[in-house]
Amino acid sequence: MEHTETADKLAIAQQLSNYARAMDRIDRDLGYAVWHPEGTARYGTMFEGTGRDFIDWVCSTHAQMIAHMHRVTNILIVLDGDHAASEAYVHATLRFEQDGVLRQGNALGRYLDRWSRREGRWAIDHREYVQDVDEVVDAGPPLVGAFGGRRDRGDPSYAMFAGVKG
């Protein structure tokens, strides 16, 4: 397969989307695939270690919450052969109960990633998470009632994607 700058940037952007999906669906296997096996992650004082250990930690943490959503935007990618660097903005919304009160945390930061392509697959060698803004606010009741999304492979999106051959 011929590699072009556009194809490589799309592959990296897809991995960033896979990461957000892995977080929100608590899909450990998908999360593991975003990093190379020896890849590392540093999320400030929250976590420092391997990408795989980070996925385990964050999935366990997210499983204790009521809901969460990660949005990745403003993706800047610089390529150098089989290596790349990227900066992607992230807005994570986290819904949880604290002291009997429904709360919402909003974390806005950036993923600073070093990538490499091995055997045709782009994955993270190292991630630095930089948090720029955060807040915790009291949350009111849901606007529209029951939610249809799930935080596992029972989410309707898995069935939809399974019906499409890639």
CB contact set of 29 (below 8 Å; sequence gap of 6+): none
Beta bridge partners of 97: 102
Check if the beta carbon of residue 19 is closer than 8 Å to that of residue 47. Answer: no
The residue type at 100: G
Q: What is the DSSP letter of 141?
A: S
What CA–CA distance (Å, rounded) separates 72 from 93? Answer: 12
- Local confidence band at 156 (pLDDT 50, 70, 90 cut-offs): confident
pLDDT digits (tens, 9 = 90+) for 25-81: 999 999 999 999 999 999 999 999 999 999 999 999 999 999 899 999 999 999 999
Report all structural domains of the chain as residue ranges with CATH numbers, in order of start. 5-142 (3.10.450.50)
56: phi then psi, degrees, rounded to nearest 5: -60, -45
